[in-house]
């Protein structure tokens, strides 16, 4: 799958979004503002604006709270990818507006605006949903609120962003992905053109719109630029949930860490692994699709990244063997091993085989440190993985059609060791134009020997394209200042993000 780059398709441009917040189902992360004791505000008219990059197959709330068994308000992606606004009241009234369209692009940021105004005489104008500046008019459900209906929002309750608050105090249905530039305008019905615009290339991009918005009593603007993590009761400037509207409506964070503040944003979109290209015995994805667990089925799973069709340039990423459970081949028979590399031949969903079995796919193999391809023993390269937590740095040089690796900062010597201070031992790869795909995708898979099929342990892996889910001790960026890596990015190599693609790709 070739990534749809939205909207950062130029190296430089106008308004830049510096940070996003990464939330995950597995962590059940969220932001919360406790509004007990705060006077009710406008319950008829409000506007939300979010930029979000999501996963698929799970229910994900942009905001949500349930006051009791009968009273609730939320806006979410259903598990099939539909967008749904819902309001539920004590009298049993349920209002729902739901799209027919399924939102399943995991490579790009969507801009989503929810515009609610029950004072409108036309029912269809009381709840409107816009995606990338365009109103969704093909709707599966249209249970609009009555004229001047008072909804559940803006009462003296907790306000939850990125998840759903249940009546027992728990939260569920967190976003599996990223949120950026979140605006809430209390008492205002605002068009999407307040928050974004179409650039000269026809791409919908964000605007610096704070000065154009009247936020109202309970309104807020979250840009996730502050580095501190706020616990309950610590709602203040300096925390990641700081409100930049001027209202001081700061949010505390729950199940959020410093690792969840990223520079993967709508104006510089980083690669992740692609849950839509996740085959045979699919990996379980989390942390915004950069952490995955193999399922232990004994099959040969494989998966590609969201940004691909690489034809030129020099690219760097890191891959952490967090808990492989079969290091260096694992069991006595050496049957299990992880492979990380590039894919130029594609993969067959019907074939239980390592992706290095194909002629134009090249992968570092954790069992013996070789670069394998075309179902061969491969090229002698570096060392095998010998312990949990080790990091492979993978260098892709498509200006010279070659790859190499480092292990924990030491580069391969081409003789079966990782003991060099700089890259010198490369393995040649097929020229991108000569591959069946006409370019390369980054891919990961596990190879499982037939004698061990059905007995595979699960493994946990984390990939870092510059937006790590694991702790970084040294914080290295590429020469253009993009990405956050454990080890120094070699000269001339760059993180796989849209700004670098625009300049070097």
For the chain, give every domain's residue range: 20-262, 273-504
Distance CA 216, CA 189 (A): 11
Q: State the sign of the Cα–Cα–Cα–Cα dihedral 443, 446, 447, 453.
A: negative
pLDDT in tens, 94-120: 999 999 999 999 999 999 999 999 999
Distance CA 11, CA 263 (A): 15
The predicted structure's pLDDT at residue 280 = 60
The predicted structure's pLDDT at residue 228 = 85
At the topology level, CATH places domain 20-262 in Jelly Rolls (2.60.120)
What mean pLDDT is reported for the chain?
Answer: 88
Mean pLDDT for 355-384 is 90
pLDDT in tens, 127-165: 999 999 999 999 999 999 999 999 999 987 788 999 998
CB of 171 closer than 8 Å to CB of 161 = no
Percent of the chain scored above 90 by pLDDT? 67
CATH of domain 273-504: 2.60.120.920
Distance CA 242, CA 238 (A): 6
The predicted structure's pLDDT at residue 297 = 58
CB of 334 closer than 8 Å to CB of 420 = no
Q: How far is CA 73 from the centre of its chain?
A: 25
CB of 385 closer than 8 Å to CB of 368 = no
pLDDT in tens, 443-489: 988 765 444 444 456 778 999 999 999 999 999 999 999 999 999 99
20-262 and 273-504 have identical folds: yes
CB of 164 closer than 8 Å to CB of 66 = yes
Instruction: Locate 221 and state its tokens.
Output: 């603007």
């Amino acid at each position: 799958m070739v990534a749809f780059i939205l909207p950062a398709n130029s190296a430089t441009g106008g308004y830049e979004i510096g940070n996003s917040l990464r939330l995950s189902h597995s962590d059940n992360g969220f932001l919360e503002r406790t509004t007990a004791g705060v006077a009710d505000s406008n319950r008829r008219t409000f506007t939300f604006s979010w930029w979000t990059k999501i996963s698929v197959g799970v229910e994900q709330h942009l905001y949500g709270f349930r006051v009791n068994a009968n009273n609730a308000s939320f806006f979410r992606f259903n598990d099939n990818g539909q967008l749904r606004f819902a309001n539920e009241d004590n009298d049993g009234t349920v209002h729902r507006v739901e799209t027919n369209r399924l939102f399943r692009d995991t490579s790009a940021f969507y801009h989503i605006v929810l515009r609610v105004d029950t004072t409108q005489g036309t029912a269809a104008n009381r709840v409107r949903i816009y995606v990338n500046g365009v109103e969704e008019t093909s709707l599966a459900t249209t249970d609009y609120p009555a004229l001047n209906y008072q909804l559940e929002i803006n009462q003296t309750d907790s306000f939850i962003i990125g998840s759903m608050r249940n009546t027992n105090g728990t939260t569920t249905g967190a976003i599996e992905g990223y949120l950026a530039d979140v605006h809430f305008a209390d008492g205002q019905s605002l068009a999407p053109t307040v928050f974004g615009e179409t650039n000269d290339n026809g791409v919908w991009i964000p605007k610096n719109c704070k000065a154009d918005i009247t936020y109202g009593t309970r309104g807020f603007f979250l840009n996730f630029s502050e580095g501190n993590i706020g616990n309950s009761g610590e709602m203040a400037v300096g925390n990641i949930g700081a409100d930049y509207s001027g209202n001081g409506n700061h949010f505390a964070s729950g199940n959020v860490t410093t690792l969840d503040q990223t520079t993967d944003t709508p104006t510089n979109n980083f690669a992740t692994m692609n849950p839509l290209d996740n085959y045979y015995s699919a990996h379980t994805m989390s942390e915004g699709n950069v952490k995955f667990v193999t399922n232990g089925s004994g099959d040969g799973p494989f998966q590609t990244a969201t940004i691909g069709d690489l034809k030129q340039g020099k690219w760097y990423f890191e891959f952490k063997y967090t808990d492989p459970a079969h290091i260096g081949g694992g069991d006595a028979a050496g049957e299990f091993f992880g492979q990380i590399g590039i894919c130029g031949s594609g993969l067959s969903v019907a074939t239980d085989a390592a992706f290095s079995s194909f002629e134009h796919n090249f992968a570092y193999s954790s069992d013996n440190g070789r670069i394998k391809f075309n179902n061969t023993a491969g090229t002698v390269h570096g060392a095998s993985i010998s312990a949990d937590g080790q990091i492979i740095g993978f260098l892709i040089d498509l200006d010279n059609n070659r790859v190499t690796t480092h292990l924990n900062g030491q580069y391969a010597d081409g003789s079966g060791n990782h003991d060099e201070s700089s890259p010198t031992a490369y393995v040649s790869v097929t020229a991108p134009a000569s591959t069946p795909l006409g370019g390369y995708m980054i891919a990961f898979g596990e190879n499982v020997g037939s004698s061990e099929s059905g007995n595979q342990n699960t493994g946990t892996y984390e990939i870092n394209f510059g937006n790590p889910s694991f702790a970084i001790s040294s914080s290295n960026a590429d020469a253009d200042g993009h990405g956050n890596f454990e080890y120094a990015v070699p000269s001339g190599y760059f993180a796989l993000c849209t700004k670098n693609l625009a300049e070097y790709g």
